[in-house]
Amino acid sequence: MSRAAGAQVASSRHAILLILTAIMPTMGIVALVPVLPMLLREFAAVPGSAVLVPVALTIPALCIALFSPVAGALSDRLGRKPVLLVAMLVYGLVGALPLVLHDLIAIIAARAVLGLAEAAIMTVSTAMLGDYFEGPRRERWIATQMASVSVSAIALVAIGGALGEALGSRGPFLLYLVALPIAAAVAAMLFEPVQRARGTAPKVRLPMGTILPVLLITVAVGVLFYTIIVQVGPIIERSGVTSPALIGLAAAGTNLGVAIGSILFGRLKAHAGPRLLAAGLALVGLGYAGAALAPGFAAITGFAVLACVGSGLMLPNMLAWVMRRLPAPARGSGTGAWTGAFFLGQFAAPLIASLLAPATGGLSQTLLLYTGLALAGALAALIASSRTSALTPA
């Protein structure tokens, strides 16, 4: 049953609006992927542009990793709705700013500010799902959020490509203006939970001793999740396929795999915790092994999708696991810590892969190393699940 705040009770329309806000940080990166070559050509004369242009693309993810805990703590102190509303407005206005900017450093600075807004949006929208709903319904909406974000990435890449084709390298930046009507809906529809209203929530210390193990596992899950996403092109090229269209099809398949895994979590949420972590790691391990060893495009793509099904199962599982351990007054801080851990794993994934590939002898060998680590983690989680019972939902 939905939890009430004063006379107001959360319903599906509140959850759907929160999910729409959570899609914004995904749009912040994937919508620009199709115009990355155009931006590289545009700024080719700028010293260091080969590094700076990709940094402009990815710096929001680093900001999310670093500042999500701060955003969560602010929402615990100031209230969820005002923090989310300001973040959505900043996202829409600053996100579209590169439409009129012509200096690469200025664009990077704007993207960094965008990342701060994204940290608040991702953290607070998720925390509000935890505030508005409880038990199985909360975990169902968390799974729906993960699936929706993954599916939206497929559409956003296509829309970003179409805008780039029609309007040039700055076309996709128009998409950020979508946040402004969504911000208006946030102002009109969402409400501040009573226990989160300013001055009414008791001060509770974040139980780091309880959630730290889950956060550390989340970093590792983030690395496993994002490695296959980032490396899907080179992995597919190992089969001899270099067609951008086919590689794009495989990339869409991996995002669909994440969505399928999240939907699967929605059906298995009663087992959230070590048991589903073991299942997810096992699927990831099998997927990585197949992607490293399979001979053809179809087989490699299928195994990459399987790995992403495992990741899609694990991501809402880890978030639900943390949510179950958080007292309501610390839910914003705890959700921010989880979001930061997940995006830290994402940010580190390509760096770790690039360091490991020379040491292991190539990308395939790196994937096999990850296979071993994932399967070892699955075994450890399975042993842990046999020794502990699932925690009671908050």
Cβ atoms of 280 and 317 within 8 Å: the answer is yes
Instruction: Looking at the chain, list the stretches that DSSP marks H as alpha helix, in order from N- to C-terminal side.
Output: 12-30, 36-42, 49-78, 80-95, 104-132, 135-167, 179-189, 208-230, 232-237, 244-268, 274-293, 297-325, 331-360, 363-387
For the record, the structure tokens of 357 come out as 């590939």
Q: 300 vs 174, 286, 330, CA distance in Å?
A: 35, 12, 43
Residue with tokens 């409880």: 134
Q: 205 vs 58, 70, 210, 331, 334, CA distance in Å?
A: 32, 14, 12, 10, 10
Rounded to whole angstroms, the Cα distance separating 51 from 44 reads: 11
H/E stretch holding 9 reads strand 8-9
Cβ atoms of 272 and 320 within 8 Å: the answer is yes
2 contacts: CB under 8 Å, gap ≥ 6:
9, 10, 11, 132, 133, 137
313 contacts: CB under 8 Å, gap ≥ 6:
261, 262, 264, 265, 268, 276, 279, 280, 283
Rounded to whole angstroms, the Cα distance separating 131 from 83 reads: 15
Q: Could you read off the pLDDT tens digit of each residue along the chain, which spans 394 residues?
A: 444 444 478 889 999 999 999 999 888 777 787 787 788 888 989 998 887 887 887 788 888 888 988 988 898 888 899 999 999 999 999 999 999 999 999 999 999 999 999 999 988 998 898 888 888 888 888 888 888 887 888 788 778 878 888 888 888 899 999 999 999 999 999 998 765 444 455 566 777 778 888 899 999 999 998 888 877 878 888 888 777 677 778 888 888 898 899 889 888 888 888 899 999 999 999 999 999 998 888 999 999 999 999 999 999 899 888 888 888 777 888 888 898 898 888 888 877 887 888 888 888 899 999 999 999 999 999 888 887 654 444 4
Cβ atoms of 320 and 269 within 8 Å: the answer is yes
Closest to 33 measured CA to CA, from 153, 160, 151, 159: 160
For the record, the structure tokens of 293 come out as 């060893």
